[in-house]
Amino acid sequence: MTTTGTGADPAVVGPYLADVLGEEAWRTPTITLIAGGKSNLTYRVSSAAGDVILRRPPLGHVLPTAHDMNREYTAMAALAPTDVPVPKMLHLCREPDLLGQPFYVMEAVDGYVCRDRLPAGYADRPDQRRAVGEGLIRVLGDLHNVDPGSVGLGEFGRPDGYLARQVARWTKQWEATRLDGMEALDRLAADLAASVPTSQRATIVHGDYRLDNTMLDPTTPGRIAAVLDWEMCTLGDPLADLGILLVYWQQADDASERDLGGVVQSATVLEGFPNRAEVAQIYADRSGLDLAELPWYVSFAFWKLAVVCAGIVARVRFGAMVGEGFDGIEERIPPLVELGRATLADRRLL
Q: Closest by alpha carbon to 37, among 4, 12, 65, 14?
A: 4
The CA dihedral of 187, 349, 268, 314, to the nearest 10 degrees, is 0
> Across the chain, what does the average pLDDT equal?
90
Res. 316 pLDDT band, cuts 50 70 90: confident
Mean pLDDT of 334-348: 94
Report pLDDT for 207.
93
Question: Residue 47 pLDDT > 70, yes or no?
Answer: yes
The upper half-sphere exposure of residue 29, i.e. CA atoms within 13 Å in the direction of its Cβ, equals 30
Mean pLDDT of 119-134: 97
Cβ pair 256, 222 in contact under 8 A: no
Buried b (16+ CB within 10 A) or exposed e, 147-170: ebeebebeebbebeebbebbbeeb
Residues in the chain: 350
Res. 238 pLDDT band, cuts 50 70 90: very high
pTM here?
0.89
Mean pLDDT of 16-28: 97
